[in-house]
Amino acid sequence: MTVSPDRSSLADPHLRPASTAGPRDIVILGSTGSIGTQAIDLVLRNPDRFKVTALAAAGGRVGLLAEQAYRLRPRTVAVADASRVADLHEALAGQYGSEPLPEILAGPDAATELAASDCHTVLNGITGSIGLAPTLAALRAGRTLALANKESLIVGGPLVKDVARPGQIVPVDSEHSALYQALLGGTRAEVRKLLVTASGGPFRGRTRDELADVTPEQALAHPTWNMGPVVTINSATLVNKGLEVIEAHLLFDVPFDRIEVVVHPQSYVHSMVEFTDGSTLAQAGPPDMRVPIALGMGWPDRVPDAAPAFDWTTASTWEFFPLDAKAFPSVPLACHVGTLGGTAPAVFNAANEECVAAFLAGRLPFNGIMDTVTDVVTEHGRPATGTRLTVDDVLQAETWARARARELAGIPVTAAEAR
């Protein structure tokens, strides 16, 4: 079985836009997070290539946001938490002194407004399903979307596919950026399989029984990447790979039975594409997110020296192992909810976030994360067919899934949440 050759996908590297002359106008959403700060590092080192026109952040680090604004001089700065406006204004005044301040936007819709503003590319580095509305706004406005917010596709895949034109999205997740680059090696009809690599997390090689008593401290000790707590626990359970399989399916329009997870502890090969002639192309590099971020902002051009390359004079060993689906059932469950479609992926994602919080709080054992998520997904059942998915459908499904997951984890919920 091969990929249909007669249509383009949301992320199609063969639909290469023309290079832009002069600095490219960029809007950065989630500027104070990991993706945003690394993107700003790239912008500051490449002022001839990029100009930031707007910054948006949640509001928890207004001092950093003000510093970023002073160095980049955007037209607009936004915070999702409207209660931090006064603090942001004070922090900006401290940076700018007597110079005019940028425009300030605030509230939950501020990032969505900026996503539709006048620019070439929107980098969506927001964490969580709150990134869906800005994703849709950027696509509707015709912007190129450098997408690091995987939840946009996980919870709102049909919504995104309805508004995006072919090739409008450039993926920023390292695995999907790798697939994007490797897909240039052949036509759609020549693609046999997508191979998504996984580090295996801190518990690679353990059986399900051996995972029963692991602690949050052990689960947070990722061997390769430095990430936030939710993403790190998702790496330990391999939920992140399940989400990435759904994302790969939606981005590249490849069936789930032709997407495979391969464990690669060194995290040097970021993903691979197998072609019908038996050849496999891999995209490799040291574990550094600046390469996919730079490609997302600069596509179709590469940014020289975005990140360090390998030292090929130093010997190294690269290993690959099959996925243990019994110990880590998150990947087959994700494929199941991805096949169901509708609101099922949103339920999976929301329930998992609540279960991760319960595990970190000591209310659930490690294996209880996926056991509880499975129960919530099973209760949700098959989504109704024959109706178009709406944002309200997604939000309602997420609310129900969060409440049900907390309930199953023994965490009290309100009557309104339980409905």
90 labeled part of a ligand binding site: no
244 labeled part of a ligand binding site: yes
Residue 30 in contact with residue 115, Cβ under 8 Å? no
Cβ neighbours of 23 (radius 10 Å):
15
151 labeled part of a ligand binding site: yes
133 labeled part of a ligand binding site: no
Residue 131 and residue 372: Cα distance in Å, rounded? 25
Residues in the chain: 419
219 labeled part of a ligand binding site: no
Residue 249 and residue 232: Cα distance in Å, rounded? 23
80 labeled part of a ligand binding site: no
Q: Which residues pair with 171 in a beta bridge?
A: 147
107 labeled part of a ligand binding site: no
- Residue written as tokens 């390359």? 309
Residue 320 and residue 409: Cα distance in Å, rounded? 35
CB neighbour list of residue 100: distance below 8 Å, 6 or more residues apart: none
35 labeled part of a ligand binding site: yes
174 labeled part of a ligand binding site: yes
Which DSSP letter does residue 148 get? -
User: In sequence order, what DSSP letters do the residues of 68-81 get, joined into one string?
Assistant: HHHHH--SEEEES-
Residue 417 and residue 313: Cα distance in Å, rounded? 58
For 362, phi and psi rounded to 5 degrees? Answer: 85, 15
Residue 377 in contact with residue 337, Cβ under 8 Å? yes
22 labeled part of a ligand binding site: no
175 labeled part of a ligand binding site: yes
32 labeled part of a ligand binding site: yes
Instruction: Dig out the tokens for 173 from the structure.
Output: 């997740």
58 labeled part of a ligand binding site: yes
Give residue 375's identity as a one-letter amino acid code: D
Containing 349, the helix (H) or strand (E) segment is helix 344-360
- Burial zone of 392 (CB within 10 Å; 0-12 exposed, 13-18 middle, 19+ buried): exposed
173 labeled part of a ligand binding site: yes
Residue 275 and residue 183: Cα distance in Å, rounded? 9
267 labeled part of a ligand binding site: no
276 labeled part of a ligand binding site: no
Annotated binding site for Mn(2+): 173, 175, 244
Annotated binding site for NADPH: 32-35, 58, 149, 151, 228
Annotated binding site: 32-35, 58, 149-151, 173-175, 199, 222, 228, 235, 240-241, 244
Annotated binding site for 1-deoxy-D-xylulose 5-phosphate: 150, 174-175, 199, 222, 235, 240-241, 244
